[in-house]
Structure 1
């Protein structure tokens, strides 16, 4: 018995200090604050909660049958716990089951990448481990598998909800480990107990504290460690994830298909108050067509330096854009983007197209400066590309185009006549194909037979009309509009806002935006519509109040976690250093020599008295604190006697002759299994040469009845 006590003191004190703290905080409250009841369900419940966090994190790549197996494991674990059995099935059966199911997952998902295989295997092993979750060792192994599962999930997702799941998992996992440790120690106390509200709140609070410390340290390391520009291992290669659907080409129904998605393409802050109808986000410029499909076919090559036109003055619009991963290298910006900041590998074109050297794998954040007008002269290559007519244009289209030109008509008047034509000839906008044209419709079908279509058809038709009237023109694809979030003062642009419009070149105006779809069933011109826009953003263009804060959190998560690159990290720490230096400079510390001169040479007795009084008070308080923190040996001996008397039924004065003998007789008759250990620890603490806090805490735990 004595050797067991010494082992607990030395081994726990040196190797398991964490659980010494845990037992000190909780074990002494078991008899006083616990109620009788059945507590064996808490282990499977906590395991199910923490494991479910991992399953939700892996859900984008988790097979439905694997998720079903997890649900079955949770249910079976609860049933077997109710029946009083330690494990679900035998060890051999569980081992064969996990090998068999992991083999099926490997054969099924091997061609989809090792990430898919690893996700299924970890989920299956986590399910099997839940079936045998009974001891603290099992809890550690279970939580270790969960951490591996979150590591695999981080390859395919790192959104805000994933961060919430990580926090929830660490919290529930810590509660599971802490609870299991206490639950395993209960038989040693010789008393059965239930889980009271006080005990639950105290345990959850301690786990929450540890979780917060872990998260704070994690963020500190995340922001402190330098970011690697190129990852050492591209672990996510070959695994397709959700991306924005923008395409730099225009095919029949292409934009209509994108517009059916409500995914967020990007979020952006604009330095001016604009109406959503003014937000034309340029993505790509399309010059070349075969009569059906449109492709860039840019007449000029891309260059690495920004456009020579000055991006200065009141007409410049600045935007900070956080672009979600996509399938295109094109960057977006309002009107005519001229310069992109905070990104490398950017290339520019005369037509306002801006793109990267390659498709970004992760979200990118950049600042772009745009001008509202582009009055650059028309080059010969641009004129040739902007007037090109494909083969196979029908005579009906030619006849309609000729009807817009009258004698001595100016190009601008012809363009306005085309817009008026779409506004007055019964055209309507629809993302769905008209009956009988589900496989697509030609330009002639759209203009003559159906007069129903989406923005691609209107843009293609207007460009054809303009070119047939010798007006250089091109198609621009991107996004139109946005949803405003007043919480972060930024716009949200979704795939459903994908759009195509027209730009035509006029000698006295330069390149001008023309959007035929905005003139359907409207009795106004392009200029009138934009001029009538208010500076205030209407409420119907804002996000609903219920989702504003949540979306703002997602946006901040993307900015400060997903898109934290080396350059932004360096700027952040430089800003922190500058702020600290300024704060330190503003603090005016007195010169010690001047202070002594004022005290001793000028004999300021009042100041001397205050200093001496304050010093004396500090010394007295320090002594009291040290006495409280470091009690004397006599105090510890006296406290041991009081503790034994308080834990023994009846009133006992241990200083009276024979009182200790009566106490030991009671403990020997009621708790013979630990009476000897209690007596040894008590004698060491009460009469030994070196009483200390460690023996006092051990005695307190042993006296729990």
Structure 2
């Protein structure tokens, strides 16, 4: 009859501590990529579960309730949408609960194997240097914990010290580093990926093809970079840095949206001025296809599409850092001949909304008359009104059905969304074609690296009106009431703020410069960069087959080096056995080595017979045999190790 399967060993406190610490280290980088409240809740759950289950497993019913509750919390946080962020959050939730099953050696290995998925899942959400460092630390901690579990299973009398355990894990990682570098630098890069990255359930903050006045507050409080710009020659003044994004035509009384059918029309004719700006834009991931450019782009970068209103969009979602080479120039005329169908779209207003605004617009039109000068006079009159009576604030009340009426006649306070929306409605009601343009404005010049940072908080909305002879003309009503919202930079705010903020500004510049370098050297290493580097060594481009052969050759050499280092460093891990083998080596030099068939006791007797002065070897051998084979003598390891090292023939 088969012997019953032996139960797995119970974890001792040290092995449990190593396992839970490693799991927490793997979970940390993933938590940093989740929404703040959810990440804090999962961290608290993980700490409480680990503390409660330290001595014994939690009851099955309680484990089930916690699992269901946490899954429901994650799904509610993601609004029951499924994407890679939801999947990563569910992984983090399950890892936070996994310690409640930790009891035996098998449980420890299961927890560590599951925890290693967390650092890799982090890279689905962020590929920054901090995520890499924390993920690497978590993986090394998991390997060190696995080494401690192996020591527990082997029953070593003298467990390895924590410092030595970490040193061994670091040495293993260093041995594998050449192969990792070969894979990064030489593995054939695809010009386009074989598969796409799953979409997020909750979109990142950023521009979209819709705008509802009052909903940009979260984005305008987000100081993370949206794009970094490097100019090759002249740099426009900050007041002219309008980064054009989606153009919104359709208005339903509450929300502005981009017209889908404009994407099929060719780009409108533009006559650019004499000044041109050449620059490179580094765009942070948005998971959308929208691309911004300095007004107005002259060319269409490869991989993008330009619509009638000069909105740029990419063929694939921007799921990673991308770079785009562009040339822009201010327009002298922009679609000077507006077709009737487009004029109709730029004058359309929904029925039954904002009667006071419509009445005011009709009054202004009657007083101004008709013609190009009349249109320009109405625009100037509206700007003068804004300049005289309106205020800029991010604290705005929730507007009702007649949102434009309430803003223009009751509150007269708001931010760029309110101003651009109300201005365009007022212009359309006056018979002037108008539309809303969204994007970013301004920027901060980082003196470290000499490039410009445009942050998500620089998001802005302005208006374009169509005037005879000039075509579409930019009008920014927000600038009329709050110029500092447009022209000031983060650096200006720092000089006016507390001394601590002034001291922090250079540090922020250094940090962003380092992140830009990471984007350039690591995240931006694509097929073109790979070929340029190889061309510097070989003088010509390598085809896919040649590149694969080169990678196989270098990887083979790296593997051979790894095997040599492992074989060279392979030795007895137990310090007592290592001292015993060294002792045998000393007698080998005298021609008294132990024969393969001899036991330790028989060998010692033969040595003493030849060299009576080595009588101490007999007692030392007996002590070694007891330590090695007899139970209950594990505690003698330290004294035995000292005497083995001290013994000389």
TM above 0.5, one fold?
yes
Match of 2:257 in 1: 295
- Counterparts of 2:411 and 2:72 in 1: how far apart (Å)? 51
1:290 to partner: Cα distance: 4.9
Distance in 2 (alpha carbons) for counterparts of 1:121 and 1:286: 40
Aligned to 2:578: none
Partners of 2:251 and 2:510 lie apart in 1 by 44
* CA distance in 2: counterparts of 1:254 and 1:361, whole angstroms: 24
| Equivalent residue in structure 1 for 2:626, among 673, 676, 686 | 673
Q: 1:375 to 1:52 in 2, by over 3 A?
A: same
| Whole-angstrom distance in 2 between the partners of 1:362 and 1:387 | 38
Structure 1 counterpart of 2:358: 394
Deviation per residue, 1:113-172 (Å, 9 max, x gap): 593696267516741464435xxx776544322223434444455444432221111222
| Runs of 5+ unmatched residues, structure 1 | 1-39, 81-87, 584-632, 644-652, 678-698
| Stretch of structure 1 that moved more, 65-74 or 472-481 | 65-74
The Cα shift of 1:56 comes to 2.3
**CA separation in 2, counterparts of 1:458 and 1:125?**
49
SS in 1 for 2:472: strand
> SS of 1:432's equivalent?
coil
Aligned to 2:242: 280
Q: Distance in 1 between matches of 2:465 and 2:644?
A: 91
- Confirm or deny that 1:336 pairs with 2:296: yes
Would the alpha carbon gap of residues 94 and 65 (structure 1) be closer, same or farther in structure 2, given more than 3 Å must change?
farther
CA distance in 2 between partners of 1:94 and 1:550 (Å) = 47
Which residue in the other structure is 1:211 paired with? Answer: 173
Q: Which runs of structure 2 are paired with 1:651-670 in the superposition (5 Å)? A: 657-668=611-622, 670=623
Aligned to 2:392: 429
Deviations 1:333-358 (A, max 9, x none): 11112334352xx3212322112356
Deviation at 1:207, TM superposition (A): 2.8
1:638 counterpart (589, 594, 617): 589
- Counterparts of 1:488-637 in structure 2, within 5 Å, are 488-507=449-468, 509-520=470-481, 540=494, 544-558=505-519, 569-581=526-538, 637=588
Query: Aligned match of 2:337 in 370, 378, 386?
Result: 378
Matched, 1:478 2:439: yes
Look up the match of 1:143. Answer: 112
C-alpha distance 675-654 of structure 1, shift in aligned 2 (>3 A): farther
> What is the root-mean-square deviation of aligned Cα atoms in Å?
4.9
Partners of 1:43 and 1:176 within 8 A in 2: yes
Residues in 2 aligned to 1:227 and 1:408: alpha-carbon distance in whole angstroms = 54
SS in 1 for 2:395: coil
Q: Provide the rounded CA distance (Å) in 1 between the counterparts of 2:358 and 2:375.
A: 23
1:47/1:130 contact within 8 Å kept: no
Task: State the alpha-carbon separation in 1 of the partners of residues 643 and 183 from structure 2.
Answer: 42
* Counterpart mapping for 1:24-423 below 5 A: 42-59=14-31, 60=34, 67-75=43-51, 80=55, 88-89=56-57, 113=82, 115=87, 119=91, 122-123=94-95, 126-128=98-100, 130-132=102-104, 140-181=109-150, 187-188=156-157, 195=161, 201-214=163-176, 217-223=179-185, 224-227=187-190, 229-232=192-195, 236=198, 239-256=200-217, 258-271=219-232, 272-290=234-252, 292-297=254-259, 300-302=262-264, 314-326=275-287, 328-343=288-303, 346-356=304-314, 359-361=317-319, 364-376=322-334, 377-381=336-340, 382-388=342-348, 391=351, 392=355, 393-400=357-364, 409=373, 412=376, 414-423=378-387
Q: 1:635 to 1:47 in 2, by over 3 A?
A: closer
Contact 1:318 1:367 in 2 (8 A): yes
Name which one, 1 or 2, has greater alpha-carbon Rg.
1
Matches of 2:97 and 2:350, distance apart in 1: 61
Q: 1:596 corresponds to which residue? A: none
Superimposed CA distance per residue, residues 312-340 of structure 1 (whole angstroms, 9 cap, x where no aligned partner): 975134232314224x5321111112334
Say if 1:576 and 1:408 are closer, same or farther in 2 by CA, change over 3 A. Answer: closer
Residue 173 of structure 1 aligns to a residue whose secondary structure is helix
CA 140–489 in structure 1, closer or farther in 2 if over 3 Å, else same: farther
Partner SS, residue 407 of structure 2: helix
1:460 and 2:460 are equivalent in the alignment: no
Contact 1:101 / 1:124 at 8 angstroms: preserved in 2? no
**Structure 2 residue 400 is the aligned partner of structure 1 residue 443:** no
The 2-side partners of 1:364 and 1:342 are apart by 12
The separation in 1 between residues aligned to 2:302 and 2:368, in whole angstroms, is 46
- 1:282: how far off? 0.9
How far residue 408 of structure 1 moved from its aligned partner, in angstroms, is 9.3
SS in 2 for 1:336: coil
Q: Give the whole-Å Cα distance in 2 for the aligned partners of 1:220 and 1:46.
A: 32
Change (3 A) 1:56 1:215: farther
The 1-side partners of 2:44 and 2:463 are apart by 51
Q: Distance between the aligned counterparts of 2:381 and 2:45, measured in 1?
A: 65
Distance 2:94 2:475 in 1: 55
SS at match of 2:331: coil
Distance 1:702 1:122 in 2: 51
Question: Is the Cα–Cα contact under 8 Å of residues 119 and 138 in structure 2 kept in the other structure?
Answer: no
Distance 1:539 1:164, change over 3 A: same
* CA deviation string 1:178-217 (max 9, x = no partner): 45556766844xxx6895xxxx555434433433454564
- How does the TM-score come out when normalised to structure 2? 0.68
Q: Structure 1, residues 496-544: CA drift from partner, whole Å, max 9, x if none?
A: 322211223445544332211112267x9x9xx99xx99x986849982
Moved more, 371-380 or 150-159: 150-159
SS at match of 2:281: strand
The whole-number CA distance in structure 2 between the counterparts of 1:207 and 1:446 is 64
Q: Shift of the alpha carbon at 1:455?
A: 1.8
- 1:289–1:121: structure 2 CA closer, same or farther, 3 Å change rule? closer
Question: Do the aligned partners of residues 581 and 358 (structure 1) sit closer, same or farther apart at CA in structure 2, a change above 3 Å counting?
Answer: closer
Q: Is contact 2:273-2:331 (8 Å) kept?
A: no
